[in-house]
Amino acid sequence: MLRKVLGMFSMAILGGLIALGIYTSFDFQKPTASSQIKQDVAIQQTQLMASAPMIAPDFVEAANLSVHAVVHIKAEFSRKNYFYDDFFGDFFNPFRIPQQQQALIGTGSGVIISPDGYIVTNNHVVQDARKLEVTLNDKRVYEAKIIGTDPSTDLALIKIEETDLPYLTYGNSDALKVGEWVLAVGNPFNLTSTVTAGIVSAKARNINILNSREGNTIESFIQTDAAVNRGNSGGALVNTRGELVGINAAIASGNGYYTGYSFAIPVNIVRKVVKDLLQYGEVQRAYIGIQIREVDAELAREKGLEKVKGIYVAGVMENGSAEKAGIKPGDVITNVQGVEVNSNAELLEVIGQYSPGDKVTVTVERKGTPITYDIVLTNEKGSTSRIKREEPAFLENLGASFRPVSDDLKKELGIQSGVEVAEIKPGALSSIGIKKGFIITRIDRIRVNSAKDVAEALKGKRGGVLIEGVYPNGVRAYYGLGL
């Protein structure tokens, strides 16, 4: 028995020795100083990340600068603005005055851009209005007059007679980055001075809401998720420094209310339009003289392009700026004046900031090789001249402005003469039913081709005058004007 117990005890001792040998044979090292530091740093970083507060951008100063420079606009119309109803109903809130009166009221917003009362807004807010009333943030009310409009960008410039007004300074929409914080300031639902915040969701958006018979619209919207609703049209989009970077114009909505995205006209286009309206009375649109297609995977495969980027030159106008500079069909435009362009909207936005006669640097890729050209931009007629609208004071009573008719359109309509009614507002012509776009060919059988011709034909007239003409759709019309 004793022998058995001693045997088991010996085996236990042997097993312990074996286990100890195995344990000591492994290299269980203590943590080194460097590894301990790494662990400490990781723990410290984790603790810092967990305890560091989220720093939100400060909108207070930008909001304070903006609300005093954004105004409420009330526009009175004698008839409904059919052209823009389909596209801008989300912003425009017209309602009929009781007792079957014909007046219609629309509301929107505007941005003061100078201390002497110049205000930028959307064209669809004021187009065809017979009366404009502007209410400032401090509740002062003024009657405003229209200085000029540009339907191709949906911008308008109006003015009130006042000085020392708060105003916003221009920022740089080209420098605006996707993800950057912005504020939308306006007067939705007739509420005054409302500020909402969001980020820039995208740039150079073309949402196909502007129409133009000439096909010269520029759609290159800044897309944001700042909440915008009815009445915000013409309001300000500002950055966190309180600089104006866009004019709010539209929302993406299926129900008439904000559902996630809004769109603003870049301020670099606004600056150009305002400058032209003040200096010339109309916008000086510049052209390169090319037909373009946006490069996508399908076009790149079809044309054998090495990269899916840039703007494909599908054709060049004979004797146009591009052809004279050396650009050829098949070239791919990648850069204009130092700005990369990768969509039709981006290209139109850049060119839209220049005037006929301006020189721009254009970089193209031809069979993979970059080539740079200096191009002198022209107007739609192929010249570098800038046209200033000079209408005799007599025409103010007519309530219309005029512009020449191109030879191509005259040929298409089968007319030898004509001057187009570019804008119409309450006055002698609107009272007899003449509408915007009407082309006056003769006045009392005298052919007219300019605003000066219209003034000369009506000069000294008394009694009834016969106005003949045609609308762009080919419908001929005759109007009797009493003088």
Residues with catalytic roles: 124, 154, 233
The full DSSP string for 108-162 is: EEEEE-STT-EEEE-HHHHTT-SEEEEE-TTS-EEEEEEEEEETTTTEEEEE-S-
Q: What totals of helices (H) and strands (E) does the chain contain, helices first? A: 12, 25
- Buried b / exposed e along 408-442 (16+ C-beta atoms within 10 A): ebbeebebebbbbbbbbbebbbbeeebebebbbbb
Residue 169 carries which DSSP code? P
Interatomic CA distance for residues 382 and 221, integer angstroms: 28
Strand-pairing partners, residue 373, are: 362
* Cα gap 229→234, rounded to integer Å: 11
Q: How many CA atoms lie within 13 A of 44 on its CB side?
A: 6
Residues 6+ apart with CB under 8 A from 158: 73, 110, 118, 119, 121, 126, 132, 134, 144, 145, 146, 147
Please state, in angstroms and rounded to a whole number, the distance separating the CA atoms of residues 325 and 336: 14
Q: Is 389 left (phi over 0), alpha (psi -120 to 50) or beta?
A: beta
The helix or strand, by DSSP H or E, that contains position 451, with its residue range, turns out to be helix 451-458
Residue 189: Cβ within 10 Å count = 12
Distance CA 12, CA 6 (A): 10
The owner of tokens 């709010």 is 248
Cα separation, 237 vs 264, whole angstroms: 7
Q: How many CA atoms lie within 13 A of 319 on its CB side?
A: 6
Q: Length of the chain in residues, anyone?
A: 483
- Continuous segment of H or E residues that includes residue 374: strand 369-376
Four-point Cα dihedral 404, 409, 415, 420, nearest 10? -30
Q: What are the tokens at 14?
A: 């042997």
Q: Please give the structure tokens belonging to residue 312.
A: 């494909």
